[in-house]
A and B are shown apart, each in its own frame.
Chain A
Amino acid sequence: AQTVTQSQPEMSVQEAETVTLSCTYDTSENNYYLFWYKQPPSRQMILVIRQEAYKQQNATENRFSVNFQKAAKSFSLKISDSQLGDTAMYFCAFMKWEVMRFGAGTRLTVKP
């Protein structure tokens, strides 16, 4: 079974600075999908970014980018120019055959 590990339970960053959240996963599959979701206190899960494993190019969405290292099974999220609204729980997720597995989450606090 696939497992997803987020080793940073909590992180903080100053507003306007850059922060990187770590995620590793374990799988024997070659084709799969990886995601970062954000869950603010409203508890609505919001898609941040998505990466297809067959694509070598790292996904980017505005201030959010990933560093996807397939051989190392690593999928980190970089948030640039952090904003107060980025404060939330961030979940890394792995998807294969429609089933999505989540990491334990990282609670990110952006400080003014």
Chain B
Amino acid sequence: SAVISQKPSRDICQRGTSLTIQCQVDSQVTMMFWYRQQPGQSLTLIATANQGSEATYESGFVIDKFPISRPNLTFSTLTVSNMSPEDSSIYLCSGGGATDTQYFGPGTRLTVL
């Protein structure tokens, strides 16, 4: 199994600003992912963070809005850019092997005023 941490755990931001969320895994993992979850709802995949190449985004999510970095096999960042109140949500990262279980971080609760 893998233990995943995220920073910050929560933040309150002003509209128009950007926030970068960090995800750290305690061991090397092949795959890392970023999800968005509205309270009481399911997880929606934002993108797959690829090590050494550009992230792969799901329909409805674009790089300009959600730039992602993955400099190595244990770390990734997600930036939420030019935020609006509609971006208020919980953001979760996960990591795992190519055919393995995904383990999740504790999430970052973002509120945009």
Contact = CB atoms under 8 A, between A and B. Distances in A.
Question: Bound pair: A and B?
Answer: yes
Interface residues of B, number: 23
B77 interface: no
Contacts of A104: 41-42
A98 to B, nearest CB: 5
A89 B42 CA distance: 9
B102 interface: yes
A47 B40 CA distance: 18
Given A43-B90, A45-B104, A91 B43 contact: yes
Interface of B is mostly: strand
B103 A47 contact: yes
B31 interface: yes
A47 B107 contact: no
A84 interface: no
Contacts of A102: 42-43
B45 interface: yes
A17 B72 CA distance: 46
Interface extent on A, as a size class? 20 to 34
A43 B41 CA distance: 11
Contacts of A45: 43, 92, 94, 104
Interface in A62-109: 89, 91, 95, 98-105
Interface of B: 1, 30-31, 33, 37, 40-43, 45, 48, 90, 92, 94, 98-99, 101-104, 106-107, 109
Interface of A: 33, 35, 37, 42-45, 47, 50, 89, 91, 95, 98-105
12 contacts: A33-B99, A42-B106, A43-B106, A43-B109, A45-B43, A91-B42, A98-B31, A99-B45, A100-B94, A100-B102, A103-B42, A105-B41
